[in-house]
Amino acid sequence: MNFKVGCKTDIGKKKSNNEDSYYVLENIGLFGVADGMGGHAGGEIASKIAAETIVKSVAGAGDKIDKINDIPGFINNLMTIASDNIKQEALNNPSLRGMGTTIIQTLCVKGKVYVTNIGDSRCYKLSSDGSFCLVSHDQSQIQDYIDDGLITEQQAKVHPMRHVITQAVGYSENLNPRTVECEYRVGDYYMLCSDGLNDQFNNDEEIKDIMVKSLAETSGDLDGVCQKLVDSANDLGGRDNITVVIFKIVE
């Protein structure tokens, strides 16, 4: 496996601190973004604990990951350990009670890209053939309304319940990570982001347009593409912290 990677996190224009974290283990093919919740210190600590726990667990597994038969089960266990660690920290420090974090993560192993989300952080794929799609599926109250046909995507953008998530690491009692398997294909790009990015745009097509245009303008500099996406979200208001991780499968 070989990857080209770009990352950028930004406080945005309205928040006083950054509750997002991201993690990259390029040699193993692990990439993730965690968007914390629970107020100033709480959200920041929760996302950091989740990121550090997952990185430590995956790095500890090392080459043994290729021998694991149930990769989704392995990922679920990672999320449970991270969740337990966040809950323990909250028990040790009552001022942190109620903290948690969303997670969007990809793990590349056995010829697959396993995309896992808890909450409403997202993963998009820009395929080598130029097609663009949302791989993850938000675990949120508003997404439930959309799935049930109660509101449209456009109505969801301004709905008062749009920021209510139904799953969070460190907060939910019964975690239900959603994992999707994608084929590991050279030339494909994956973009992981906190909702501070996608919430600023009217639709996913706008995100695609910026990504494609930036790839051309920067000659494929993924740090530059991440920066352009962050700048665009800030130009549209920057209401939340913004984190973007993009990787391209090179071989």
Q: What would the pLDDT profile of 88-139 be if each residue is shown by its tens digit?
A: 999 999 999 999 999 999 999 999 999 999 999 999 999 999 999 999 999 9
Please give the average per-residue pLDDT across 155-173, as a whole number: 88
Instruction: State both tokens at 47.
Output: 């996302």
- Flag whether pLDDT at 40 surpasses 80: no
Element (H, E) at 54: helix 39-61
At 62, the pLDDT band (50, 70, 90 cuts) reads: confident
Q: Mean of the per-residue pLDDT values for the chain?
A: 95
User: What's the CA gap between 209 and 217, in Å, rounded?
Assistant: 12
User: What's the CA gap between 163 and 198, in Å, rounded?
Assistant: 12
- Give the domain CATH number at 174: 3.60.40.10
Residue 155 Cα distances to 143, 160, 191, 198, angstroms: 11, 10, 25, 15
User: What's the CA gap between 211 and 152, in Å, rounded?
Assistant: 25
Please give the average per-residue pLDDT across 62-66, as a whole number: 89
Instruction: State both tokens at 3.
Output: 């990857």
- Flag whether pLDDT at 16 surpasses 70: yes
At 38, the pLDDT band (50, 70, 90 cuts) reads: confident
Q: What is the pLDDT of residue 201?
A: 95
Q: Is 100 helix (H, G, I), strand (E, B) or coil?
A: strand
Strands 189-193, 122-126: pairing is: antiparallel
User: What's the CA gap between 103 and 165, in Å, rounded?
Assistant: 12
At 63, the pLDDT band (50, 70, 90 cuts) reads: confident
User: What's the CA gap between 198 and 196, in Å, rounded?
Assistant: 6
- Which range of residues forms the domain containing residue 112? 3-249
Please give the average per-residue pLDDT across 20-48, as a whole number: 93
pTM: 0.95
Count the domains in the chain: 1
Lay out the sheet containing 3-10: strands in order across: 3-10, 242-249, 189-193, 122-126, 132-134
- Flag whether pLDDT at 73 surpasses 90: yes
Q: What is the DSSP string of 105-174?
A: EEEEETTEEEEEEESS-EEEEE-TTS-EEE-S---BHHHHHHHTTSS-HHHHTT-TTTT-BS--BTT-SS
